[in-house]
Amino acid sequence: MDDEALQELHERRAAALRLGGDAAVAAWHAQGRLTARERIDAFADRDSFQELGRIAGAGRYDAQGRYQGFTPSNSVMGRAAVDGRPLMVVADDFTIRGGSSEAAVAEKWIYAERMALDFRMPLVRFVDSAGGSVKLLAKAGRTKLPGYPLWPSTALMGAVPVASVAFGACAGLGAIRAVAAHFSVMVRDQAQVFAAGPPVVKQGLGVDVDKEALGGTELCTRLSGAILNAAADERDALAQVRRFLSYLPSHAWEAPARASVDDDPQRRDEALNHAIPANRRRIYAARPIAVSIADRDSLFELAPDFGASLRTFLARLDGHAVGLMLNDPAVAGGALTRAAAQKMERFVDLCDSFHLPVVHLVDQPGVMIGPDAERAGTLLAAARAGAAIEQASVPWVSVVLRRAYGVGGSMLGPWSGPTGTALNHRFAWPSARWGSIPIEGGVAAAHRREIEAAADPQARRLELEAYYEQLGSPFRSAEAFGVVDIIEPAETRALLCRWVRDAVRLTQLQPAPKRRTQR
């Protein structure tokens, strides 16, 4: 080997480390942003990043074909580790052609994703890409049918955890790479995610809209749900991805590992006995109930601002990772809105795909009603969420805290499951009430004539309601074994910590990918 070739290798490697060049990097830093390489360093375990394809890019040559210089691909990727566990990370470099996907040497970022699939390692995408660029068309002298035949985007979703961070304006393919993930987070006031940015929207629709209104954090994490979580800054986003991964196995062929735990599985919380107000029209704070039941400091909420009548947490019980769902009556009365149903479907798919036992704490008034809800497509979203529950084969337990009414209430757990043998293991607090329809309204409808005919219709209605109220006692259901047990709220944690041991015995038997991927 001649020294010249070695020299050239080192030159090319050094050029890759310079990204878009000193001026571009300085301008980037001046915006308070980390470069692609700095993001990887801040994210991964120290010195764990082993780059692949560093010298992919565009070489420059003189007339005699001698090497003159080199512009690296704007996709930096390789193997790294987080908490000692291997994963693949692929980061867009905006300092070269705005992170454009077409300047990336597509084979390279696709290879990162294929390698994650083949080696069964989680995939983490740092997206900072303005999408395609027409200038590259001129360079290529032709167009291509859009698409990437070897990109296993959907297969990945059934095989390994996929997490994405949107760091800047992400359009087109960049937006889809951010959205099509099990966990996605965007940096507030810095990232936007949309099919196309403001100039394209202006051209196509004549609409003037700024990029924050078009695809900012408020829109994506609160209204559309396209991105799950918001981050205060870049490092917060990276910390959230690390936290997310800490609950999951490395792939769908294994169950999550148990974490060390310093919280007593038998811990009683007397406050839970008073968490539900006696007045059934009064709301209460939902989150403290989850905080009390889960291992100390173990809650990580997914999509806290979207469909928030349902709260979804990754959590731990006696050190075991679980998925925890909880209705929040302070938002839409806890109803199953279109957004809550979509959130539920995705969350159940996530838990089922990666063998996280599901704990469902239910206070469900039903599928959201009204003209807005009907127009929004709430019914179809509810049906899909119900299907996700019935297709879930992961161990499942529910505790009805208060209400379980109608179709929404029936979705407390799988009634048959994919093998037809699901127990629908279910418990209730003494504050629980359930039924096909709520008593108020239901009485008025069923006894309309009788009430109208009464000397004092109002009094008769209340009398009838009081009668049905008695019938609605959960103890009457428990007599018929309609629930496995009515429990004292304070003993909920102990019950669930005992249950999770049996649940984990099952998930560890022969974990395998589910036949469907996350939808």
Partner 1 sequence: MSARHVRAPATGTVWQLAAELDAPLAAGSVVLYVESMKMEIPATMPQAGRVTAWLVRVGDAVEEGQPLAELG
Binding site for partner 1 (CB under 8 A): 281-283, 329-335, 365-366, 368-370, 372, 438, 440-441
**Sheet strands side by side (includes 75-82):** 50-52, 75-82, 85-92, 123-127, 162-166, 183-187, 229-231
Least separation in angstroms between CB 368 and partner 1: 8
144 vs 281, beta carbon nearer partner 1: 281
The tokens for 246 are 């800490």
Neighbours of 314 (CB within 10 A): 25
The tokens for 92 are 């867009």
92 within 8 A of 126, measured Cβ to Cβ: yes
465 within 8 A of 439, measured Cβ to Cβ: yes
Least separation in angstroms between CB 458 and partner 1: 17
427 within 8 A of 485, measured Cβ to Cβ: yes
39 vs 433, beta carbon nearer partner 1: 433
Rounded distance between C-alpha atoms, residue 519 and residue 113, angstroms: 19
Least separation in angstroms between CB 402 and partner 1: 10
Rounded distance between C-alpha atoms, residue 256 and residue 249, angstroms: 4
Least separation in angstroms between CB 366 and partner 1: 8
Least separation in angstroms between CB 373 and partner 1: 9
Rounded distance between C-alpha atoms, residue 359 and residue 426, angstroms: 10
377 vs 441, beta carbon nearer partner 1: 441
Rounded distance between C-alpha atoms, residue 46 and residue 484, angstroms: 49
59 vs 277, beta carbon nearer partner 1: 277
Least separation in angstroms between CB 285 and partner 1: 11
Spatial neighbors of 304 by CB under 8 A, at least 6 apart, are 229, 311
172 vs 366, beta carbon nearer partner 1: 366
Spatial neighbors of 508 by CB under 8 A, at least 6 apart, are 255
225 within 8 A of 303, measured Cβ to Cβ: yes
300 vs 405, beta carbon nearer partner 1: 405
Rounded distance between C-alpha atoms, residue 162 and residue 251, angstroms: 10
372 vs 450, beta carbon nearer partner 1: 372
Instruction: Classify the C-alpha dihedral 456-457-462-465 as positive or negative.
Output: positive
141 vs 371, beta carbon nearer partner 1: 371
Residue with tokens 């001649």: 2
140 vs 369, beta carbon nearer partner 1: 369
150 vs 285, beta carbon nearer partner 1: 285
What region, left, alpha or beta, does residue 158 occupy, with left being phi > 0 and alpha being psi -120 to 50 degrees? alpha
346 within 8 A of 316, measured Cβ to Cβ: no
The tokens for 213 are 């209104």
228 within 8 A of 183, measured Cβ to Cβ: yes
Least separation in angstroms between CB 287 and partner 1: 15
Least separation in angstroms between CB 335 and partner 1: 5
Least separation in angstroms between CB 400 and partner 1: 16
Residues in the chain: 519
Least separation in angstroms between CB 412 and partner 1: 17
16 vs 310, beta carbon nearer partner 1: 310
48 vs 337, beta carbon nearer partner 1: 337
Least separation in angstroms between CB 365 and partner 1: 5
Alpha helices in 186-247 (DSSP H): 198-205, 211-215, 217-218, 234-247
Partnered with residue 320 across adjacent β-strands are 317
Least separation in angstroms between CB 474 and partner 1: 18
Phi first, then psi, for residue 127 (nearest 5°) are -100, 130
